[in-house]
Chains A and B, each alone.
Chain A
Amino acid sequence: EDQVTQSPEALRLQEGESSSLNCSYTVSGLRGLFWYRQDPGKGPEFLFTLYSAGEEKEKERLKATLTKKESFLHITAPKPEDSATYLCAVTIQGAQKLVFGQGTRLTINP
């Protein structure tokens, strides 16, 4: 069965303290890996798409990387406004949907 697992479930950091969130996947034929941000009571907001191992994408304090088994979302010098749940999702060969992980709830303390 296709699975997406995110770790940790929750992460609390001090402002400026860099860290990484992990998304590991066990799927039959990865087509794309997507990172989203979700604020409480809101819809997922698109951040990055990665298609092949070795690919990296960057936006402000966030950088996403992809290997053959996992993806990392690196957050550098985070600010309180980066607090949110970060969701990882994949598309797989032959399927017309996103498969989501359970998310990592990130809290940045001032």
Chain B
Amino acid sequence: EPEVTQTPSHQVTQMGQEVILRCVPISNHLYFYWYRQILGQKVEFLVSFYNNEISEKSEIFDDQFSVERPDGSNFTLKIRSTKLEDSAMYFCASSRLSWNTEAFFGQGTRLTVV
């Protein structure tokens, strides 16, 4: 069964360092997302992406964040200068048909900023 794959599963980084979280969405999906979940809190939307453009972004997704689809399969989230409060699980997701159909999530990258 096709699945969304995220790497790494866990990353520890020093405050102020840049991190890149990587995702391989399901191959025939066209709509891509990043969400995050701080421990014990709800899943929060970061950004949605379609046709090589950002479709919507949240207030969390400030200038420190960027997304890219460098080739036909990968989808990345970059945090330029990490802060302690960026520590969270980051989930990539993809949908096939539209924003209003089911999104399938990866297993997440646990980011710890020290």
Contacts and interface: CB of A to CB of B under 8 A. Distances in A.
Interface of A: 31-32, 34, 36, 41-46, 49, 87, 89, 91, 95-103
A58 B6 CA distance: 30
B11 to A, nearest CB: 15
A11 to B, nearest CB: 17
Interface in B11-50: 31, 33, 35, 41-45, 48, 50
A92 to B, nearest CB: 9
A98 B91 CA distance: 13
Contacts of A101: 42
A36 B107 CA distance: 13
Interface residues of B, number: 28
B55 A96 contact: yes
Nearest to A44: B105
Contacts of B50: 96
Contact of A44 (B45, B55, B56, B91): B91
A46 B43 contact: no
Contact of A100 (B43, B100, B107): B43
28 contacts: A32-B100, A32-B101, A41-B110, A42-B107, A43-B105, A43-B107, A43-B108, A44-B91, A45-B105, A46-B104, A46-B105, A49-B101, A49-B102, A87-B43, A89-B43, A91-B99, A91-B100, A96-B31, A96-B48, A96-B55, A97-B56, A97-B58, A98-B35, A98-B45, A99-B45, A100-B43, A100-B45, A101-B42
